[in-house]
Amino acid sequence: QFDVLVVGGGPAGGSAAVYAARKGIRTGILTDRVGGQVLDTNAIENFISVKQTEGPKLAGNLHEHVEDYNVDVMNQVQATNIERKDNHIEVELENGAVLQSKTAILSTGARWRQIGVPGEKEFKNKGVAYCPHCDGPLFEGKHVAVIGGGNSGVEAAIDLAGIVKHVTVLEFASESKADSVLQDRLYSLPNVTFITNAQTTEITGDDTVTGLTYKDRITEENRHIELEGVFVQIGLVPNTEWLDDSIEHTKTGEIVVDKKGATSVPGIFAAGDCTDSAYKQIIISMGQGATAALGAFDYLIRNTTP
Ligand code: FAD
């Protein structure tokens, strides 16, 4: 039986495992891939104190740091259920095995919702981006599009407008659903165009993105814009579908946590992009992982016998 079992091995899970292991308690981490979303990232320039690194390199460092401690690392393993039994937590795996732990930390992350048009996959990290905080500066002085005119799309466009030459926002519906204060701010910017009723049909390019084609849903005409970057902003989906309703979550599936990372179920903690944290970034996920591990340790010394 573990004292702390971490489910999900991205930045949040890696950090939680290191913090837990440093308390000298029995720590395990299971994940379907060590590194998480970081593995899908090229340049990382906002992991403070490391000026520049690459995703796979950071994932490798994370793995190494965890392995440096007495942590049972279970890679390529998927959790399918978690339940609180009388005085312990049970985590069921895809292969039918059941692991027991006194506490658990959920750090299963999230995935960006994809638009699913030709060119999106091919040009991912070659002009197609999902995170304006991360990749905005790579498009300095260039023309980019933001797909999605809701709150996140409009926020992204305002953010990008300060860096890039021009931003074209494409909204599928006939109007933006963003908060009006954000819309007012957006429309006041000189280098932003907002297009409604626009259905993106293709992202084009050679080595990198060179343009985007969309259908005007009113006239049914296809239009093409030449640009160098496309930010897809149609939602971030937490990897929490496998959890049942006993763990409180928001309507979009994000796990609700308190300031110690505790969920609504005693002994189950959560950290990172799978939670209702306001911002989803590597450094934030790692901080939350540390918080959840310390929260779990605190829980252990108050609620369990050695
Ligand atoms: P994740 O990284 O999503 O890790 C969760 C892990 O849990 C994954 O390995 C997942 O496969 C695993 N998992 C999920 N469900 C299960 C299950 N049931 N059983 C077992 N394992 C499971 N942030 C920055 O700060 N700077 C950047 O430059 C940056 N660039 C980015 C570029 C891209 C293309 C993307 C997609 C994201 C970027 N981000 C960046 C965001 C950053 O990667 C995330 O905020 C961070 O990885 C979240 O960490 P996490 O540990 O919470 O989740």
Contacts of 219 (CB under 8 A, 6+ apart): none
Cα–ligand 1 centroid distance for 109 (angstroms): 5
pLDDT in tens, 94-112: 999 999 999 999 999 999 9
* pLDDT confidence of residue 42: 77
pLDDT in tens, 152-199: 899 999 999 999 999 999 999 999 989 999 999 999 999 999 999 999
* pLDDT confidence of residue 118: 98
- Residues 106, 263: contact at Cβ < 8 Å? yes
Cα–ligand 1 centroid distance for 37 (angstroms): 3
Phi-psi group of 256: left, alpha or beta (phi > 0 → left; psi -120 to 50 → alpha; rest → beta): beta
Cα–ligand 1 centroid distance for 39 (angstroms): 8
Distance CA 119, CA 116 (A): 9
In the chain, CATH 3.50.50.60 covers: 2-112+236-303, 128-232
- Residues 169, 195: contact at Cβ < 8 Å? yes
At 109 the three-state DSSP class reads coil
Which candidate, 130, 89, 136, places its Cα nearest to that of 112? 130
* pLDDT confidence of residue 305: 73
Residue nearest (by alpha carbon) to ligand 1 atom 33: 41
* pLDDT confidence of residue 41: 82
Closest ligand 1 atom to Cα of 77 = 20
Which candidate, 105, 87, 92, places its Cα nearest to that of 28? 105
Q: Of 15, 37, 50, 76, which is best to mutate to test ligand 1, by the most ligand atoms within 8 angstroms of its C-beta? A: 37
Per-residue pLDDT for the chain (306 aa), expressed as one digit of tens each? 999 999 999 999 999 999 999 999 999 999 999 999 999 887 899 999 999 999 999 999 999 999 999 999 999 999 999 999 988 999 999 999 999 999 999 999 999 999 999 999 999 999 999 999 889 999 999 999 999 999 989 999 999 999 999 999 999 999 998 999 999 999 999 999 999 999 999 999 999 999 999 999 999 999 999 999 999 999 899 999 999 999 999 999 999 999 999 999 999 999 999 999 999 999 999 999 999 999 999 999 999 776
Strand partners of residue 204: 211
C-beta 132 within 6 A of ligand 1: no
* pLDDT confidence of residue 306: 67
Which fold would CATH assign to domain 128-232? FAD/NAD(P)-binding domain (3.50.50)
C-beta 78 within 6 A of ligand 1: yes
Total number of residues shown for the chain:
306
Question: What tokens appear for 68 in the block?
Answer: 């440096």
Q: Which CATH superfamily is domain 2-112+236-303 in?
A: FAD/NAD(P)-binding domain (3.50.50.60)
- Residues 296, 21: contact at Cβ < 8 Å? no
Cα–ligand 1 centroid distance for 13 (angstroms): 10
